Structure 1
Amino acid sequence: MGVMKEQLLARLEELKIEFQQYEHPVVLTVEAQAKHVGHLKGALSKNLFLKDKKQRYYVVSALAETKVDLKVLSQRLGLGKGGLRMAPEEALGEILQVPLGCVTPFALVNETARHVSLLLDQGFKTKESCFFHPLSNDMTIALNARDLDKFLNSIGKLPAYVDLEANPPVGKDHPPDLAALVPSDAPTMADPPTQQGSSQVSEKNHVSSNTQPKVVPAAKPVKSSSAPAKGKSPGAENVLISFADPDKFVEEILEKTAAVILSEFKEENIEKHREELATTASKSISKQLGLELKNLAIIFKNTAYTEGFKAGLHHQPKRM
Structure 2
Amino acid sequence: MGLSKEQLLARLKELQIGFSQYEHPVVLTVEAQAKYVGHLGGGLSKNLFLKDKKNRFYIVSALADTKVDLKVLSIRLGLGKGGLRMAPEEALGELLQVPLGCVTPFSLVNESARHVSLLLDQKFKSQEHCFFHPLSNDTSISLSTHDLDKFLKSIGRDPSYVDLEANPSVGKDQPPDLASLVPSGSTVLPDPPEAAASSKDSIENPVSVSNKSTTSTANATKPSTNAKNTKDKPVNGVHVSKSVTDVGKLVEDLLDKTSALLLSETTEETIKKHGAQLGAAISNSIRSHLRAELESTIFIEHMDYMLRHGCLLSLVHAQF
Judge same fold: TM > 0.5, yes or no. Answer: yes
Whether the 8 Å contact between 2:91 and 2:189 is mirrored in structure 1 is no
Measured in 2, the distance between the counterparts of 1:104 and 1:38 equals 17
Tell me what 2:7 maps to: 7
Question: Counterpart of 1:32?
Answer: 32
**Structure-2 residue corresponding to 1:136:** 136
Question: How much has 1:188 moved relative to structure 2?
Answer: 4.4
2:118 alignment partner in structure 1: 118
Tell me the distance in 1 between the aligned counterparts of 2:191 and 2:175. Answer: 29
Per the normalisation by structure 2, the TM-score is: 0.60
Deviations along 1:161-196, one digit per CA (max 9) or x if unpaired, are 000000000111110000000001334457765997
Q: Which amino acid is the alignment partner of residue 113 of structure 2? A: A
Residues in 2 aligned to 1:40 and 1:87: alpha-carbon distance in whole angstroms: 31
Residue equivalent to 1:76:
76
**Correspondence for 1:61:** 61
Alignment partner, residue 18 of structure 1: 18
Check 1:5–1:199 CA distance in 2 against 1; reply closer, same or farther (3 A cut): farther
Percent identity of equivalent pairs: 75
Q: Report Cα offsets for 1:109-133 as digits up to 9, x if no partner.
A: 0010000000000001110000000
- The TM-score normalised by the length of structure 1 is 0.60
Give CA-to-partner distance per residue, 1:23-59, whole Å, 9 cap, x none.
Answer: 0010000000111111002110000000000000000
1:198-209 equivalences under 5 Å are none
Aligned to 1:100: 100
SS in 1 for 2:39: coil
On the 8 A contact 1:122/1:162 being kept in 2, the answer is yes
Residue 118 of structure 1 aligns to a residue whose secondary structure is strand
Show CA shifts across 1:198-256 (max 9, x none).
9789779xx9xxxxxxxxxxxxxxxxxxxxxxxxxxxxxxxxxxxxxxxxxxxxxxxxx
DSSP 3-state at the match of 2:74: helix
Distance 1:108 1:69, change over 3 A: same
- Number of aligned residues: 205
- Aligned ranges 1:1-320 → 2 under 5 Å: 1-189=1-189
The 1-side partners of 2:23 and 2:175 are apart by 45
Partners of 2:120 and 2:35 lie apart in 1 by 24
Q: 1:92, CA displacement in angstroms?
A: 1.0
Does the CA contact (< 8 Å) of 2:115 and 2:185 recur in 1? yes
CA distance in 2, matches of 1:34, 1:104: 16
More helix by share: 2
Distance 1:150 1:72 in 2: 30
In the aligned structure 1, how far is the partner of 2:23 from the partner of 2:167? 38
* Alignment CA distance shift 1:191-1:173 (3 Å): farther
The CA distance in 2 between the partners of 1:13 and 1:190, in whole Å, is 35
Return 11-20 or 192-201, whichever deviates more: 192-201
Q: What is the letter of the counterpart of residue 105 of structure 1?
A: P
Higher gyration radius (CA):
2
Contact residue 87 and residue 199 of structure 1 kept, 8 A = no
The one-letter amino acid paired with 1:63 is L
Distance in structure 2 (CA, Å) of the matches to 1:188 and 1:136: 25
- Displacement of 1:5 after TM fit? 0.3
CA contact (8 A) 2:17 2:147 kept: yes
Whole-angstrom CA distance in 2 between matches of 1:188 and 1:172: 32
Q: Larger RCO: Structure 1 or Structure 2 (Cα < 8 Å, ≥ 6 residues apart)?
A: 1
| Runs of at least 5 residues in structure 2 that lack an aligned partner in the other structure | 197-247, 267-320
Aligned 8 A contact 1:55 1:190 in 2 = no
For the aligned residue pairs, the C-alpha RMSD in angstroms reads: 2.5
Match of 1:285 in 2: none
Question: Is 1:52–1:84's contact at 8 Å kept on the other side of the alignment?
Answer: yes
Classify the secondary structure of the residue corresponding to 1:95: helix
State whether residues 53 and 83 of structure 2, in contact with CA within 8 Å, keep that contact through their aligned partners in structure 1: yes
**Cα displacement string for residues 272-308 of structure 1 (whole angstroms, at most 9, x for unaligned residues):** xxxxxxxxxxxxxxxxxxxxxxxxxxxxxxxxxxxxx
- 1:105 Cα deviation after fit: 0.1
